[in-house]
Amino acid sequence: MTTDFLVLGSGISGLIFALKVAAKGKVLILTKKESAESNTNYAQGGIASVLSPKDSPEKHIEDTLKAGDGLCNKHAVEIMVNEGPQRIKELESLGVRFARNPNGSYNLRREGGHSLARVAHVGDYTGFKVEKTLLDRVRSHPNIRIMQNVFVAELIVRDGTCYGVYVLEDNKLVPVTAGLTFLATGGAGQVYRYTTNPTIATGDGLAMAYRVGAEIANLEFVQFHPTTLYGYEIEGRNFLLTEALRGEGARLMTQDGRHFMKDYHPQGELAPRDIVSRAIYMEMQKYNLPCVYLDLSSIPKERLSESFPQITTTLWQLNINIPDDPVPVIPAAHYLCGGVKTDVWGRTNIVNLYAAGEVACTGVHGANRLASNSLLEALVFASRAAEHVLTEAARPEEKTFQVITSGDKRYGHCSEIKDELRRLMWTHVGILRNDRDLGVARDKILTWLNELEHQLPQLHTTRELFELRNMLTVAYLITESASNRKESRGLHYNVDHPSKDPRYVIDTVIIKPPSDLPVPLYMR
């Protein structure tokens, strides 16, 4: 199979890119589950952008840089903020209906770290509505084809150029070649015990890119969403309680009713996410608590059901009678601020491999992402990647690649190692870190990964096996990145190095030496 443009992933960045390049050629979108299953689909809050006369690009830039704690790429931030309003208008032209006030102005919400309200939303279904609208457009486009339930196992790279991918099919690796490959595979929250990400978020794109020599940047900065529902899992993920609830007046408290956020930051519940998550975790550790609680009693019931219908309905179905009942919450892995390093046009260091969205690292988030900048970044830089591809990118020469048949030996440890890995990452490479725990985690992960890699050519290849391999690879990269940063900054907090160090106002970049494991199967 061959195509002009190959898109891996069907979240907001993949769909926007596909729609914009489809006028110039055939587009094939490969997604590992149903096409609507992506992190975009679960984004409740909205999209931050300058849409009010009270706001300005300078204020949005300042808030983003402040949250990023000294590590943002200012040029990329300026591009994202200045191009954001245009991209919001494009979404509306495609059919997304953002909430408006009676006078026609945008109904904007304020979230943590923002100096004023600037988050455009569709109730608490923003990601779902954006995803549905874009999918409808993609499905009706004659030049775009979506293939669901396809597992991409490896990127095909020869002499620094990407020619497509190998997909897993009946214990075989089958080549799909393309003039250009766009990586939009999302994040890797499933490497942690608690996560808001769906079960597909196993870091496949990151791991594949690392194996073929892509630069990986800033993976130590894992954002934990402060408030996810404790005690319940919905389809393998923690149910997210949007930051906008705290923007409406919800407060965090312990079981005995003590509100504690002012002890940690003058902005209280509206402090940046890293501070709120760390405060919750420290309270849990200090008093041996399984969770804390979100107090919604200051928000009228009618406003809750009107503004947050998804949350209200879900909690009522679980017999949590908000706003009267406090809601048990715990931080959970939510978003990777690092990823495959790109420039401001989405280009990686591998020719004809572009990336955008959570899998990519443009530098806009620095050490901590400002709330609701994620969908904005995906929109802006997927659009820029499409623009660059259509005007600058040259097609590589066509090459033929052979089907690879894997071994027959069964590997029966996938679920066991996966569960142990997720617990290890939560306890040793989570919200609070120390040198000893990071070293223990790194050694354990490398032991698992090297044992698997040495057996891989003889193994019967399954999706579960490749997902474990990818999770181990990404877990190693997160741990190695965290070990290399001997300071505390943004989302990375090491109790052995609790202060910022000016020597670390640099990106943490990891590139795999060609001879090191893991290696793509076709390179062995």
**Cα distance between the two ends of the chain:** 23
- Cα–Cα distance, 48 to 298 (Å, whole number): 25
Is 113 within 8 Å of 371 (Cβ atoms)?
yes
Phi, psi values for residue 241, rounded to 5°: -115, 100
- Cα–Cα distance, 459 to 216 (Å, whole number): 28
Closest by alpha carbon to 247, among 374, 64, 114?
Answer: 114
List CB contacts of 206: < 8 A, sequence separation 6 or more.
185, 188, 216, 219, 336, 339, 340, 359, 470, 473, 474, 477
Q: Is the peptide bond before 85 cis (omega within 30 degrees of 0)?
A: no
Catalytic machinery residues: 273
- Cα–Cα distance, 333 to 325 (Å, whole number): 25
Is 65 within 8 Å of 363 (Cβ atoms)?
no
List CB contacts of 344: < 8 A, sequence separation 6 or more.
75, 76, 79, 362, 381, 384
Run of H or E residues at 227: strand 222-229
Length of the chain: 524
Run of H or E residues at 30: strand 27-30
- Cα–Cα distance, 465 to 471 (Å, whole number): 10
Q: Residue type at 126?
A: T
Is 431 within 8 Å of 277 (Cβ atoms)?
yes
- Cα–Cα distance, 361 to 355 (Å, whole number): 9
